[in-house]
Structure 1
Amino acid sequence: MKIISPRAHGYLDFLTVIIFLLAPVLLNLSQVPAILAYGLAFVHLAVTLSSGFPVSTIRIIPFTLQGWIERVVGPVLIAVPFILGFTEEVIARNFYIVMGIIIIAVGLLTDYQGKNRSY
């Protein structure tokens, strides 16, 4: 069941950017998880602003392609603490695992073919 519209997905994307920007300070992340969070905030914002849905500005990435990007990003975020070696930093590890699960869930619930997408 696809209960998240393209417009709502866009708002959730902006919320995701804010979460990644605030996480290093609020969660007191060490250097690698913090730098990664800031980088992900920037990349997520760039993709959000350039995707084909109502809250974007540039619209060069089809909204369906954004869906495929998120299908990759979610599982990668879950794996990142293990790949980059910060599994012992419990808060950072759990943050990335939870964010990965949330991105997967939002992706599964989003109507990427919705009528209020731009293309």
Structure 2
Amino acid sequence: MNFLSNIAHGYLDYVTVVIFLLAPSLFGLSGLPAMIAYGLAAVHLLLTLATDFPNGMVKIIPFHLHGWVERLVGPLLVVLPFILGFSNDAAARNFYIGIGIVIIAVGIGTDYKAHGKETEREGTAAST
């Protein structure tokens, strides 16, 4: 069920960073939910820039490891409002549940191994 290429995934990663940055203004987040959104924007940007895929710049984190981080973060975001006690704030709760579900869906739709296979084929072709 992998319908997203690594390039499309990379673009969605940058869109996610922007969403996290704008979330406090767009959804009226304040206090802890806003600080978490800004922190997640920074972390997601660093992860994306450091990932070894076409949209990365430094390319030190393998794409499949990037995928595992997102596999952990997506579900964590869904339960975050309940763990950190801001589930009574409907805007914050709904934002984190929604963005968590989106990250889960993108993770399900991405073939994190494809990039490695492409690299192996390119390396084999170059050595022959």
Tell me which interval the TM-score lies in, with the shorter structure as reference length: over 0.9
- The 8 Å contact of residues 53 and 118 in structure 1, kept in 2 or not, is answered as no
Equivalent positions of 1:99-114 (< 5 A) are: 99-114=99-114
Which structure has more relative contact order (CA 8 Å, sep 6+)? It is 1
In the superposition, the TM-score normalised over structure 1's length comes to 0.95
1:115 Cα shift? Answer: 4.1
Distance of 2:119 and 2:51 partners within structure 1: 9
Distance of 2:91 and 2:38 partners within structure 1: 16
RMSD: 1.5
Distance of 1:48 and 1:114 partners within structure 2: 17
Q: Which has the larger radius of gyration?
A: 2
Q: Over residues 38-92 of structure 1, what are the superposed CA-to-partner deviations in whole Å (9 max), with x where a residue is unaligned?
A: 0000000000000011011001100000000011000100111001100110011
Q: How many residues align?
A: 119
Distance of 1:118 and 1:25 partners within structure 2: 41
2:125 matched to which residue of 1? none
1:114 Cα shift? Answer: 2.1
In the superposition, the TM-score normalised over structure 2's length comes to 0.89
Q: Is 1:29 matched with 2:29?
A: yes
1:13 matched to which residue of 2? 13
Equivalent positions of 1:1-119 (< 5 A) are: 1-115=1-115
Task: Mark the runs of 5 or more structure 1 residues left unpaired by the alignment.
Answer: none
Query: Percent identical across equivalent pairs?
Result: 57
Given residue 55 of structure 1, which amino acid in structure 2 is its aligned partner? N
1 or 2, which has the higher helix percentage?
2
Distance of 1:115 and 1:35 partners within structure 2: 33
